[in-house]
């Protein structure tokens, strides 16, 4: 599986306490129309911690069916128990996912050897490629570079999503292996592309799939001036979509655009009024709201 371009970490819309599949289908269509390389359902932005196992499987299956091979689907199926990640990943593989996103096991803080065995087991048992997801701010542990390097040449490891807030991590990964790197931070996408990343798993592209896709495409084509112009215009949005815990701001923004109901599941809740107004002002500045 070749990984390259803009992938949207798609939100999971709710209405009346249930997954709103009508809104979800519309979001998927807008992403495809916006030219994204793929979508990532049921990741962090998809509120995976608050979905039941049944809902998780249903959302993944729905996304794959709706996409119908028009773009790639990287299903978020990670977990801190290897058995749970295997179960979710096998279902995603059965439904036709192109790959799965595997977060660093959180809370139990495995050793490097434990991480290697965890990722290896998920990939081998599901039989489809995995994307390693390094996000120490949420998991408490980063994936060591030498663990990533052990997967070099393994066809079941498609990429690394690097969300540790460091461009240097991209340099370090590319120094020891050929595994593709995807930015996991919208504001660092352009700098990461400049040192060898091949794309992004983006939150901002929930709102602006065409613009984020164009920024990545320009950078990959060597048009860094064009990419920088888009980056500068969207930077305030990149910043303020994380003014509170993701995916609270992006769901609030999508609600303001009339695309979803503004509904969360505890422990997530609505934005503080001052932050909400700041985000709206940024959306106006970026031309999303009038």
Tell me which residues are annotated as active site.
133, 161
CA angle (247, 250, 251) in 5-degree steps: 80
Q: Is the dihedral of CA 73, 129, 55, 69 positive or negative?
A: positive
Q: Please name the residue that has the structure tokens 């249903």.
A: 58
Alpha-carbon distance 99 to 92, whole Å? 8
Alpha-carbon distance 151 to 153, whole Å? 6
Q: Please name the residue that has the structure tokens 């983006």.
A: 202
Scored b (16 or more CB within 10 A) or e, 212-224 reads: bbbbbbbbeeeee
DSSP characters over 170-232: HHHHHHH----EEES-GGGHHHHHHTT--EEEESGGGT-HHHHHHHHHHHHTT-HHHHHHHHH
Alpha-carbon distance 62 to 65, whole Å? 5
Q: Report the candidate in 109, 101, 127, 97 with the shortest Cα–Cα distance to residue 45.
A: 101
Residue 28: in which H helix or E strand, if any? Answer: helix 21-33
């Amino acid at each position: 599986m070749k990984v390259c371009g803009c992938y949207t970490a798609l939100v999971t819309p709710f209405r009346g306490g249930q997954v709103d599949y009508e809104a979800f289908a519309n979001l998927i269509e807008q992403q495809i129309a916006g030219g994204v390389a793929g979508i990532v359902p049921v990741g962090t932005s998809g509120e995976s911690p608050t979905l039941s196992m049944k809902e998780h499987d249903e959302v993944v299956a729905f996304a794959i069916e709706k996409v119908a091979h028009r773009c790639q689907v990287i299903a978020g199926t990670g977990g801190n128990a290897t058995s749970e990640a295997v179960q979710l990943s096998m279902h995603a593989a059965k439904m036709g996912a192109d790959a799965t996103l595997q977060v660093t096991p959180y809370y139990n803080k495995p050793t490097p050897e434990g991480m290697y065995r965890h990722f290896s087991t998920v990939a081998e048992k599901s039989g489809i490629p995995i994307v390693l997801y390094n996000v120490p701010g949420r998991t408490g542990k980063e994936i060591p570079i030498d663990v990533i390097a052990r997967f070099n040449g393994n066809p079941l490891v498609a990429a690394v999503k690097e969300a540790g807030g460091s461009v240097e991590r991209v340099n370090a990964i590319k120094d020891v292996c050929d595994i593709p790197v995807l930015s996991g931070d919208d504001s660092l996408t352009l700098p990461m592309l400049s040192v060898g990343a091949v794309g992004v798993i983006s939150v901002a592209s929930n709102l602006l799939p065409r613009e984020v896709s164009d920024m990545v495409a320009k950078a990959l084509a060597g048009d860094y001036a064009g990419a920088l112009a888009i980056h500068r215009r969207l930077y305030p949005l990149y910043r303020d979509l994380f003014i509170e815990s993701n995916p609270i701001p992006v769901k609030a923004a999508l609600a303001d655009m009339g695309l979803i109901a503004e509904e969360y599941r505890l422990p997530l809740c609505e934005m503080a009024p001052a932050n909400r107004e700041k985000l709206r002002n940024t959306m106006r500045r970026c031309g999303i709201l009038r």
